[in-house]
């Protein structure tokens, strides 16, 4: 029945079988049998042979059912299953838990995801596309603005990382490459929700640096790195406070403040 089923999936299937576009089984099946147009193809003929061999109840109302990928009817609709059928499967990336995790902030995660894929429109990428001639980093005005430079190696960004990481009383040696950053984020912490705080802070740093870079580029407004300390502090405090109601995310604020006690 494979080919006959395929025939039924054609957009003009109702015309092939002489049925209205919105025909249901009850409209096509009467007490005198199926009201299909005479078979004009092998597929149509095999479909009719198949259907006439089936016993269907005439007094039962038609209902629409979701089908799984095999065509088997299901009594419920699943977004997850539908997504799997529609999308092209891609290999799993080793850093997805550092991008999407319980308690993450979607706008931060989205930017982190783009950065992990190196899809941010940095000056070096724009230059490669022929859209700009000068790809100098707007934060330090010395080096080329690649992803790893802008977010990790730029002296301006380095200061922001060092300040954030000292706030959590963690050891900081700088991140020379994106892989080093991911490895640091993947390293488990023995204390409560410190691992989650680390992820939230890292994503907030990436997000804040990108905004500062865009502000300088498009408005000419420049904030010294000390200004970003205060901005990030407020963002992290608000994030931790909002998550303190969740039993699984409670206690992150304590880790954020402990670097202040020294
Ligand atoms: Zn720079």
CA dist., res. 158 & res. 35, Å (int): 76
Q: Is residue 228 part of a domain?
A: yes
Ligand 1 centroid to 152 CA: how many Å?
9
Question: β-pairing, 66-67 with 33-34?
Answer: unpaired
Residues spanned by the domain of 43: 2-86
Same domain as 51, residue 73: yes
- Per residue of the chain (262 residues), what is the pLDDT tens digit? 444 556 666 777 777 778 888 777 777 787 777 877 777 778 778 887 887 777 777 777 777 788 887 778 888 888 888 888 888 888 899 999 999 999 999 999 999 999 999 999 999 999 999 999 999 999 999 999 999 999 999 999 999 999 999 999 999 989 999 999 999 999 988 887 999 999 999 999 999 999 999 999 999 999 999 999 999 999 999 999 999 989 889 989 999 998 776 5
Measured CA angle at 44 (ends 41, 50), to 5 deg: 140
DSSP state of 81: H
Same domain as 102, residue 162: yes
DSSP state of 89: P
Ligand 1 centroid to 159 CA: how many Å?
11
Number of domains the chain contains: 2
Helix, strand, or coil here: 73? strand
Q: Is residue 250 part of a domain?
A: yes
Q: Which residues have beta carbons under 5 A from ligand 1 (an ion)?
A: 137, 139-140, 154
Q: Is residue 224 part of a domain?
A: yes
Determine which helix (DSSP H) or strand (DSSP E) holds 199, and give its type and residue range. Answer: helix 194-218
- Which pLDDT score is estimated for 5? 55
Ligand 1 centroid to 150 CA: how many Å?
5
Ligand 1 centroid to 140 CA: how many Å?
4
Q: Is residue 255 part of a domain?
A: yes
Phi, then psi, of 177 in degrees rounded to 5: -140, 165
Positive or negative, the CA dihedral 216, 220, 223, 225 is positive
- Which pLDDT score is estimated for 1? 43
Same domain as 101, residue 17: no
Ligand 1 centroid to 224 CA: how many Å?
13
Q: Where is the domain boundary, 86, 104, 137?
A: 86
Ligand 1 centroid to 144 CA: how many Å?
7
Ligand 1 centroid to 167 CA: how many Å?
23
Ligand 1 centroid to 13 CA: how many Å?
61
Q: Is residue 148 part of a domain?
A: yes
Ligand 1 centroid to 240 CA: how many Å?
30
Task: Give the orientation angle of helix 194-218 with respect to helix 155-167, to 10 degrees.
Answer: 150
- Which pLDDT score is estimated for 214? 97
- Which pLDDT score is estimated for 2? 46
Same domain as 113, residue 216: yes
Whole-structure pTM value: 0.72
- Which pLDDT score is estimated for 73? 82
Ligand 1 centroid to 163 CA: how many Å?
17
Same domain as 118, residue 30: no
């Amino acid at each position: 029945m494979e080919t006959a089923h395929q025939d039924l999936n054609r957009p003009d299937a109702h015309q092939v079988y002489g049925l209205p576009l919105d025909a249901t089984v009850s409209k096509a099946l009467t007490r005198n049998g199926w009201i299909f147009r005479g078979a004009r193809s092998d597929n149509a003929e095999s479909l009719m042979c198949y259907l006439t061999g089936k016993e269907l109840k005439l007094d039962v109302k038609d209902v629409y059912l979701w089908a799984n990928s095999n065509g088997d009817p299901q009594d419920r609709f699943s977004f997850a299953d539908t997504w799997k059928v529609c999308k092209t499967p891609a290999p799993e990336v080793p850093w997805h838990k550092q991008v999407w995790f319980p308690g993450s902030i979607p706008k931060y995660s989205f930017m982190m995801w783009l950065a992990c894929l190196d899809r941010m429109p940095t000056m070096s990428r724009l230059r490669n596309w022929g859209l700009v001639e000068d790809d100098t980093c707007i934060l330090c005005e010395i080096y080329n603005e690649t992803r790893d430079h802008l977010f990790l190696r730029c002296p301006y960004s380095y200061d922001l990382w060092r300040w954030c990481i000292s706030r959590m009383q963690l050891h900081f040696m700088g991140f020379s490459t994106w892989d080093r950053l991911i490895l640091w984020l993947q390293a488990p912490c023995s204390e409560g929700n410190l691992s989650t705080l680390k992820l939230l802070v890292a994503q907030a740093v990436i997000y804040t640096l990108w905004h500062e870079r865009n502000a300088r580029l498009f408005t000419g407004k420049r904030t010294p790195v000390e200004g970003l300390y205060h901005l990030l502090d407020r963002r992290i405090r608000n994030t931790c406070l909002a998550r303190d109601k969740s039993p699984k995310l409670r206690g992150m604020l304590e880790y954020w403040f402990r670097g202040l006690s020294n």
